[in-house]
A and B are shown apart, each in its own frame.
Chain A
């Protein structure tokens, strides 16, 4: 049973009184109310304040007796695939982020309800090498009770000449429930999703999209800015042309009401990106002005055919993030990077490693929780439609 409602209603007498008593935004309390849980970092506050109301709570009262369901957030989640941010409405995104927030609680994450994906099979199909994304999905699946196997197709039958659709047929014959796919060609996971009878999660396709990364970035921002993404000014900087992370983030952050800017040399900005609902800048000084968040992207040297920038030296001089360029942004601006970083090329180590301004380790941490949320939602949608 969700326990937060009884705490909010019985002890404080409703959402607004609770917000006043705890000195939090009413939307935050509303979030607890809807999700049924209270994040662990707020437990102490609630226990202390409840004591003033003559209620003696212990941490045991906060253990979730039941995992929230994806449709407990107002709208039924009915999407079978996670291929692109375009697949989702705003309510879907809210559901996914709320589920991600639920799993962010370490107590929940480490002692999760293993029945969520019980009896389901998750196959990681990675046509490109990856460490963090693959392991993050593997961990997310295992924590929710799924049988997880990982296939490194990059080093197997594709080398022997098998086509993508042959691989799809082979995989389908194993009756998986969820396929997590990364592929070097844009649109490959979408093609695969038409040929298999299970859910497909796009874990990065070519220069197209990486929706789970965008969702975890949004979740990280929600945590860092107390749930308020709308109105934030966010600069996405660097190699936008080759970045699937940038494409997904532009869509998602725009949907969530942020003011998104793209900053990079003209050779690394996609054609007509000014029509994406973003502002375009070619120099860091004007691009970072007044930004709350600076999201750096990796210079994807492996995807570059021909010369896009003259040298790493010149790139860092004009477009690499160091303290002096970060000073152009709003005071206290936070820094993100989807990783892996090229230190000294797009970001200097002292910025990347400063825990006061860098959200980079939080992004990795959020990754597992967000992916648990996505897998959970897809699995529920499957049960709903079957």
Chain B
């Protein structure tokens, strides 16, 4: 078995809070030892004092496979993930056909066999994402689905959501629901505020998010199901989660990196590349969300990678598709917030490694003896400018194009193999 050593690294493990300079020893795809006094052996990578942390886990990635391969395939998404320091991705079921059956979960798993990073499937919560009929959650779990989601659309019907949470509880399955109250958010393309009113855009109030988050918290409490409130964007919804956690309810919540890096002003002159779902909200919301990560209220940061060809984005703002790519920018955009002093580095790393690993039941996401050797080596303060044309993703839609970034991925190691090296 080949041995790989990463020497001269600042080893950071958010699972334990470990933060020391030293060497990591990898044999047969597993971390065999780490610490300050380990003698390097085998192939040696000199980290040159940069940070070595567990590879990132992205719980919300959309591709176009099957059905819309012009947007992205599993192979191109995996390559982009490796470039971004992400070693595990969870593919959303919102494809054509929808991943609502064990055979389609199996299809994703087989398509991902040759991918450079680990690819997991999320099963659909309802058949064809119709929001009404339960899918075979038990059989899909057995086939390898790590979580269940209804894609962009929330489960609007409370009775259906209750049965989903209740039914999935016996399989201990994680149920992700978007915090959107559909009738309040109908036809909305932006955050409801002074700015969107002036721009003449229909807005969704933050209350729409809060109402749905409150409903789902109540249902999770009633049924004992495992709930992930998927991608909150407002301080109002954050307060709901904070209150639920203060009552010791086992509820998790995620936020997209875009909502930590941008606010509603970024849609500026009708920039459709900044049209996202949920919409970008106010600066006070952004700062509250960053604080929510620092204090542990928000468990997970996702890229919400949603590749769209230019044809779907270069349209009048209200008609353009929502979504942005994020696999290659998640780490750098997070590190930029760390450099700005808004985000604690260890809290940020926990939200992209060990927290999602625990929610999904993965062994990766931590630096420990016997854990999979999924690692990333990055510089926390290397300056660079984001150029969307340089992205490996098949679609290049990012609102961060032209932005100055601080912090960059240098090397990605997946199961003991170097799958990305910026020096090459």
Binding site for B on A (CB under 8 A): 265-267, 282-283, 306-311, 313-314, 317-318
Contact = CB atoms under 8 A, between A and B. Distances in A.
B138 A317 contact: yes
A272 to B, nearest CB: 11
B169 A266 contact: yes
Interface stretch (B159-167, B265-273, B305-313): B159-167
B138 A266 contact: no
A318 B170 CA distance: 11
Interface in B124-155: 127, 132-139
B134 A266 contact: no
Given A265-B167, A306-B132, A310-B136, 14 more contacts: A266-B166, A266-B167, A266-B169, A267-B167, A283-B170, A309-B167, A310-B133, A310-B138, A310-B167, A313-B136, A313-B139, A314-B136, A314-B138, A318-B138
Nearest to A314: B136
The 3 A-B pairs at the shortest CB distance, nearest first, are namely: A282-B170, A310-B134, A314-B136
Interface residues of B, number: 18
Interface in B158-217: 159-160, 163, 166-167, 169-170
A310 B170 contact: no
B160 A314 contact: no
A283 B170 CA distance: 7
B166 A307 contact: no
Contacts of B224: 266
A307 B163 contact: yes
Interface of B: 127, 132-139, 159-160, 163, 166-167, 169-170, 223-224
A283 to B, nearest CB: 7
12 contacts: A266-B166, A266-B167, A282-B170, A306-B132, A307-B132, A307-B134, A307-B160, A307-B163, A310-B135, A313-B136, A314-B137, A314-B139
Determine chain A's interface SS by DSSP, over half rule: loop
A310 B160 CA distance: 12
A317 B171 CA distance: 13
Nearest to A283: B170
A245 to B, nearest CB: 22
A265 B136 contact: no
A38 to B, nearest CB: 49
Given A306-B160, A307-B132, A266 B139 contact: no
Contacts of A283: 170
Contacts of B166: 266-267
Contacts of A282: 169-170
Interface hub of B132, B137, B167, B169 (most chain A Cβ within 10 A): B167
A343 B135 CA distance: 22
Contacts of B167: 265-267, 308-310
